[in-house]
């Protein structure tokens, strides 16, 4: 007998993403004391003298507030936001005008309990910290500075003690691919609210030769689906994970083994075995009966997501270096709603190649950032997706889920 899931698997914001983003990220500075091998911002030790001033930053916050209710989530990132002396004042200002605030600090000596306490008192609701290896030696080699792992560990302990929600970010590369089950164990021990896997885009210091293969990415996404039974999980620039969630959920509802429907890279079975060892040794239990969980929120570059650089330049994503305007010259509201680049990214009918043909395009869309980085065409197909459109055998069940979700979303 087939199992029926009452869960609506696809998560959308409850408002029109043509009108307002779900999330605004501001690169407060590119100053940072780390030298991460994958750094999008190519961070430097010192501040950019042309970065937005305190008053200009306040104007940006008011522009974000101008999107209306519900307010977009506003994330202070960098570089290292703690390198800005006005960070706490700006967090307080953002919170005071009604913006939900999160901060993404670096694992440096500035990540102290005192600074985290000041963030929470200023109104920050959550922080995100990066862990790219399960041991200090592994992580520090990736981050380029000895001691980063310990500073980060001290930071998450302090955040947990004061009740500050914590997301753990991990960038997936060939350097840490086999370490992912051990990183999961660490994330679970931290008590993080979410584990977010970043799928490397070759921009900034990130190099194409550091990426894993498309087949390995697909394997990691199936591993992450297994992980999601024990902790909230999502991807960044790995949008086809939402396809994997839907496919796996349909198979589980039918009680069918994934091995009969997917030809996965052998690394998946290594990762799954590692996960099972962690689960057994820690005595972990699934988060819900049946273990079927919803897709991450469906947002994409320029479509529910917008990035503002330290100098006020507006981009669809921090990994997509196509400028659409500057908040010093034009309101972020107008840029997001009206810039031709953003409008084209929200029009999936313009997507090319397999993405344009794919039945999952409305919940995935592929990485526009990776498409641009590898082809020079922001509307090209996702280069690292292995799926052939309409090859999933349960198209009727899939259409029912997609249509049911669409009707609910429109209501």
Kindly report, residue by residue over 234-264, the tens digit of the pLDDT: 999 999 999 999 999 999 999 999 999 999 9
Evaluate the omega torsion of the peptide bond into residue 7 and state whether it is cis, within 30 degrees of 0. no
Q: What is the pLDDT of residue 208?
A: 67
* pLDDT average, residue stretch 102-109: 95
The fold of 23-239+257-282 is: TIM Barrel (3.20.20)
Q: What is the DSSP letter of 16?
A: -
- Residues pairing with 235 in the sheet: 197
How far apart are alpha carbons 239 and 368 in whole angstroms?
9
Residue 35 pLDDT exceeds 60: no
How far apart are alpha carbons 361 and 207 in whole angstroms?
27
Q: What is the pLDDT of residue 4?
A: 43
Q: What is the pTM of this model?
A: 0.91
pLDDT-derived band at 3 (thresholds 50, 70, 90) equals: very low
Q: How many CB atoms lie within 10 A of CB 57?
A: 25
Q: What is the pLDDT of residue 7?
A: 52
* pLDDT average, residue stretch 347-355: 97
Residue 393 pLDDT exceeds 80: yes
Q: Which of 275, 354, 343 is nearest to 306 (CA)?
A: 343
Alpha-helix residue ranges (DSSP H) falling in 176-319: 180-190, 214-227, 241-254, 266-282
How far apart are alpha carbons 244 and 394 in whole angstroms?
13
Q: Return the SS3 of 40.
A: coil
Residue 160 pLDDT exceeds 80: yes
Q: Which of 140, 216, 218 is nearest to 174 (CA)?
A: 216
304 touches 17 (CB < 8 A):
yes
- What would the two tokens of residue 235 be? 């991807």
- What would the two tokens of residue 82 be? 């703690």
Q: What is the pLDDT of residue 353?
A: 98
Residue 64 pLDDT exceeds 70: yes
Q: Which of 69-78, 116-125, 170-179, 397-406 has the lowest mean pLDDT?
A: 397-406
How far apart are alpha carbons 354 and 75 in whole angstroms?
33
Evaluate the omega torsion of the peptide bond into residue 224 and state whether it is cis, within 30 degrees of 0. no
How far apart are alpha carbons 317 and 205 in whole angstroms?
16
302 touches 368 (CB < 8 A):
yes
Q: What is the pLDDT of residue 203?
A: 60
Q: Which of 205, 180, 215 is nearest to 383 (CA)?
A: 215
How far apart are alpha carbons 373 and 355 in whole angstroms?
16
Bigger pLDDT: 298 vs 333: 333
How far apart are alpha carbons 411 and 409 in whole angstroms?
5
Residue 401 pLDDT exceeds 80: yes
CA 75 from chain centre, in angstroms, equals 12
Q: C-alpha distances in angstroms, 171 versus 96, 300, 318, 347, 393?
A: 33, 18, 15, 29, 32
How far apart are alpha carbons 182 and 403 in whole angstroms?
38
* pLDDT average, residue stretch 307-330: 97
């Amino acid at each position: 007998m087939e199992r029926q899931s009452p869960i609506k698997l696809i998560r959308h914001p409850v408002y029109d993403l043509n009108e307002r983003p779900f999330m605004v990220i501001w690169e407060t500075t590119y100053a940072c004391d780390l030298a991460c091998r994958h750094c999008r911002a190519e961070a430097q030790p010192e501040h950019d003298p042309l970065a937005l001033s305190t008053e200009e930053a306040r104007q940006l916050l008011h522009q974000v507030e101008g999107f209306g209710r519900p307010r977009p989530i506003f994330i202070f990132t960098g570089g290292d936001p703690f390198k800005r002396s006005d960070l706490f004042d700006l967090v307080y200002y953002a919170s005071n005008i009604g913006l939900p605030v999160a901060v993404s600090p670096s694992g440096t000596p500035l990540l102290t309990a005192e600074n985290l306490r000041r963030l929470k008192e200023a109104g920050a609701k959550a922080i995100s910290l990066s862990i790219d290896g399960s041991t200090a030696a592994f992580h520090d080699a990736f981050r380029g500075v000895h001691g980063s792992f310990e500073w980060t560990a001290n930071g998450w302990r302090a955040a947990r003690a004061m009740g500050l929600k914590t997301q753990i970010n991990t960038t997936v590369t060939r350097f840490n691919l086999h370490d992912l089950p051990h990183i999961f164990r660490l994330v679970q021990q931290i008590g993080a609210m979410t584990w977010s896997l970043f799928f490397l885009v070759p921009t900034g210091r990130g190099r194409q030769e550091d990426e894993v293969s498309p087949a390995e990415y697909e394997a990691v996404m199936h591993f992450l689906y297994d992980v999601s039974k024990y902790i909230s999980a999502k991807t960044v620039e790995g949008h086809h994970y939402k396809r994997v969630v839907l496919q796996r959920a349909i198979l589980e509802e039918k009680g069918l083994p994934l091995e009969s429907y997917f030809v996965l890279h052998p690394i998946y079975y290594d990762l799954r075995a590692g996960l099972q060892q962690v689960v057994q040794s820690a005595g972990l239990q699934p988060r819900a009966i049946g273990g079927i969980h919803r897709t991450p929120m469906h947002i994409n570059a320029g479509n529910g997501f917008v990035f503002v650089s330290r100098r006020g330049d507006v981009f669809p994503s921090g990994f997509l270096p196509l400028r659409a305007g500057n908040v010093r010259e034009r309101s972020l509201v107008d840029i997001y709603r009206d810039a031709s680049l953003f409008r084209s990214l929200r029009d999936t009918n313009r997507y090319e190649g397999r993405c344009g043909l794919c039945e999952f395009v409305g919940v995935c869309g592929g990485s526009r950032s990776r498409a641009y980085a590898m082809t020079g065409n922001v509307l090209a197909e996702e280069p690292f997706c292995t799926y052939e459109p309409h090859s999933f055998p349960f198209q009727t069940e899939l259409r029912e889920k997609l249509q049911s979700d669409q009707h609910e979303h429109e209501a």
